[in-house]
């Protein structure tokens, strides 16, 4: 692992100034990338069935899952017993709760509050991640990784009425808290993370286990303090699942049933042999390559690429970062994503892969360093530029389809 930041650590004030400066720039870059996609989508993409129709909302980034988040903000959880009725209980509550709180404090309507909230949370998340990654891989490589994160296919979700910025904020705060030894901050952030998205639950469990391991090596009151922190990590997910259980039924069967019925093409039955052996991925790559050059513009191919690169990053973390919080967090996260997404030809929507961008591009920064030492210092910079430009292009193209409610067929 390269830690260029460790060689000459800057002062805390300078470090914070750099973190928030780069965060502001990257947030702007991400927004411009999304605006380019909106511009392209309005002119060249036909409107699909996901185009706004909820309460006369016509915001460019109000699509698909946004309807459900908005309904939670306005009415709370709703389910009439029919999985085909469009229930919103499969969506975690943290983003709607924060929107409702901001709306009440600021006087903004719930739509404007949601869009503003995501900008603020994205900005803070990038600053926190810069501080963590700057310590772990160096500041320049951290900027490269975060630039890829905020411009990747699906990056529109950071600016849409979606929960991705909320998830990224609490994930980054958990990582920062853990790396700095702020155990109470880590526990509270992990609890909020578990209530941000279903995919946050295994990460919250990881932080709980890490805190329990610290409890084993502590003595006296410190041991019980770590145990209490570990229990806090489960509070967010526990509260969410308890509410669902009390009001609607067993969440462990109910949520899965609703996803399979309401979003059946994304959650088909699992052939575990094909899943474990990689048979699904081989079939998807065969199908993608058989479509010729046009496959490069199709969403399933983009998702397939991220899944495959995520698999490489999974192996890379295990080999190169064996005893590091990145490995502890992202290896279980990838396994969860792989197990729940890979049975679908669409591999779920690209915006759900944004968290994997961190280990994927950390892996690429390591390749950059290896090429600099072994081949030429010029070659890796050229490859990095091509990689970022290609990544941005996919981000723009994907936003163009999403903006018109037509990303599935774009």
Mean pLDDT, rounded, for 361-385: 83
* 308-338 pLDDT, tens digit each: 999 999 999 999 999 999 999 999 999 988 8
Q: Which domain holds residue 379?
A: 4-409
Close Cβ partners of 242 (under 8 Å, ≥ 6 residues apart) = none
Would you place residue 342 in the very low, low, confident or very high pLDDT band (cuts 50, 70, 90)? confident
3-state secondary structure of 348: coil
Nearest to 276 by CA among 319, 224, 335, 205: 335
Q: pLDDT: is 348 or 138 the higher one?
A: 138
Task: Give the pLDDT score at 1.
Answer: 47
Would you place residue 6 in the very low, low, confident or very high pLDDT band (cuts 50, 70, 90)? very low
- Return the number of other C-beta atoms located less than 10 Å from residue 239's C-beta: 14
Nearest to 338 by CA among 321, 355, 319: 355
Task: Give the pLDDT score at 374.
Answer: 80
Task: Give the pLDDT score at 4.
Answer: 42
* Domains contained in the chain, number: 1
Would you place residue 259 in the very low, low, confident or very high pLDDT band (cuts 50, 70, 90)? confident
Distance CA 185, CA 191 (A): 10
Cβ atoms of 355 and 368 within 8 Å: the answer is: no
Mean pLDDT, rounded, for 45-74: 83
* 75-127 pLDDT, tens digit each: 999 999 888 888 999 999 999 999 999 999 999 999 999 999 999 999 999 99
Task: Give the pLDDT score at 5.
Answer: 43
DSSP 11: P
Task: Give the pLDDT score at 270.
Answer: 84
Cβ atoms of 165 and 99 within 8 Å: the answer is: no
């Amino acid at each position: 692992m390269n830690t260029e930041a460790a060689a000459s650590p800057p002062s805390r004030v300078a470090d914070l100034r750099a973190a928030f400066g780069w965060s502001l720039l990257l947030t702007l870059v991400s927004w411009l990338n999304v605006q380019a996609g909106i511009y392209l989508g309005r002119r060249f993409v036909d409107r699909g069935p996901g185009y706004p129709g909820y309460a006369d909302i016509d915001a460019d980034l109000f699509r698909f899952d946004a309807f459900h988040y908005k309904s939670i903000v306005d009415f709370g959880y709703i389910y009439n017993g029919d999985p085909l009725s469009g229930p919103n209980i499969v969506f975690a509550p943290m983003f709607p709760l924060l929107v409702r709180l901001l709306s009440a404090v600021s006087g903004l309507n719930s739509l404007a509050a949601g869009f503003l909230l995501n900008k603020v949370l994205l900005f803070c998340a990038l600053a926190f991640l810069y501080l963590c990654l700057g310590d772990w891989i160096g500041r320049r490589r951290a900027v490269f990784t975060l630039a890829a994160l905020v411009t990747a296919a699906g990056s529109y979700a950071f600016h849409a009425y979606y929960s991705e910025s909320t998830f990224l904020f609490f994930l980054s705060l958990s990582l920062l808290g853990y790396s700095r030894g702020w155990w109470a901050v880590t526990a509270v952030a992990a609890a909020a993370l578990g209530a941000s998205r279903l995919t946050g639950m295994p990460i919250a469990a990881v932080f709980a286990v890490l805190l329990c391991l610290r409890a084993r090596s502590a003595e006296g009151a410190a041991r019980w303090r770590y145990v209490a922190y570990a229990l806090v990590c489960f509070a967010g997910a526990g509260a969410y699942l308890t509410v669902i259980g009390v009001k609607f039924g067993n969440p462990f069967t109910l949520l899965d049933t609703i996803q399979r019925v309401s979003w059946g093409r994304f959650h088909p039955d699992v052939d575990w042999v094909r899943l474990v052996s990689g048979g699904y991925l081989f079939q998807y790559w065969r199908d993608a390559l058989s479509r010729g050059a046009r496959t490069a513009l199709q969403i399933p191919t983009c998702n397939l690429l991220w899944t495959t690169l995520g698999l490489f990053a999974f192996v890379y973390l295990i080999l190169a970062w064996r005893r590091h919080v990145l490995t502890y967090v992202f290896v279980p996260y990838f396994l969860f994503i792989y197990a729940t997404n890979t049975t679908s030809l669409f591999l779920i929507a690209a915006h759900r892969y944004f968290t994997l961008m961190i280990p994927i591009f950390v892996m690429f920064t390591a390749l950059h360093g290896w090429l600099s030492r072994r081949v030429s210092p010029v070659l890796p910079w050229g490859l990095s530029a091509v990689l970022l430009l290609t990544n941005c292009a996919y981000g723009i193209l994907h936003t163009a389809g999403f903006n018109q409610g037509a990303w599935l067929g774009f």
